[in-house]
A = this chain, B = another copy of it.
Amino acid sequence: MKKIDKNSRIPLYIQLMEILVDEIENHMEENDQLPSEREICEKYGLSRTTVRQAISELERDGYVYKQHGKGTYVAPRKVNQNLARFYSFTEEMKRLGKKPVSNVLSFKVIEADKKIARKMKRNEGDPVYEFVRLRLADDIPMLLETTYVPHDLFPGIRKEDLESMSLYDMLRTRFGVKPTMAEEVFRPVVTRDDEAKLLQIPVEIPSLKVERFTYDGDIIVEYTNTIARGDLFEYRVRLDNKN
């Protein structure tokens, strides 16, 4: 049994969270009941304050749910593409057993115009990569992405790199950058003619326009504008009740 190190500089409730997550992921099933709070106090020599704080965070993170008077239980695992975690087209398609292909339609270095500069929190005129990729899964067009990446942060990216590997893999392996967070904003839009053609859908089908801002710390390392075909792509998200 893992133990709590009371002399560690890591807060006790964090340590307990890690122990419990490990327990949940490796030894428990959905809807299994956790030991009661008081049992956990006993077992690890912690106060109920600390135990409740740990469990409260786990609840917030979607690992468990509580029922007053009954107990605390392992939350059902998330299904499908879940927006609550970081998303990579390449990774996700592999997970679904499909063959992901990136077709780089254009690739250039441009000077950021006013809009791009504002979106990326940079100065107008800063050099940025701009590349358009058509993403296919098993040869079916799924997404049309226009991506902007600061040139000064990641010099030497070539078109071929993007065709062979995912952007995130490249940032990690070539530049040692592992994005910490991303924000996506999406809204339904009428599909434009040129987009419809590339995605091989009729214009009558609306698309989902997704703006993505990817951060490493507080620096934006990627700004992407995606058109996702509305007939094939569905977004799924799990919301947790924070009370």
Contacts and interface: CB of A to CB of B under 8 A. Distances in A.
A235 B80 CA distance: 17
Given A31-B217, A181-B75, A239 B87 contact: yes
B80 A184 contact: no
Interface string A166-206: 00000000000011111111111110000000000000111
Contacts of A62: 181
Contacts of A7: none
Contact of A181 (B65, B208, B233): B65
A236 interface: yes
Given A76-B218, A84-B84, A190-B204, A182 B238 contact: yes
Contacts of A188: 188-189, 206-208, 230
A87 B65 CA distance: 17
Size range of the interface on A? Answer: 35 or more
A80 B238 CA distance: 17
A83 B230 contact: no
A20 B83 CA distance: 26
A25 interface: no
Contact of A240 (B66, B86, B240): B86
Contacts of A83: 83, 237, 239
Interface in A70-115: 73, 75-76, 79-80, 83-87
A243 B86 contact: yes
A139 interface: no
Given A241-B86, A242-B85, A75 B180 contact: yes
The 10 closest A-B pairs by CB, nearest first: A188-B188, A206-B206, A65-B180, A188-B230, A188-B206, A86-B241, A182-B239, A60-B242, A187-B234, A185-B236
Given A76-B215, A178-B241, A181-B241, 20 more contacts: A65-B181, A67-B217, A73-B217, A83-B239, A84-B240, A85-B242, A86-B243, A181-B239, A181-B240, A183-B237, A184-B237, A185-B234, A185-B235, A186-B237, A187-B230, A187-B233, A188-B189, A188-B208, A206-B206, A237-B237
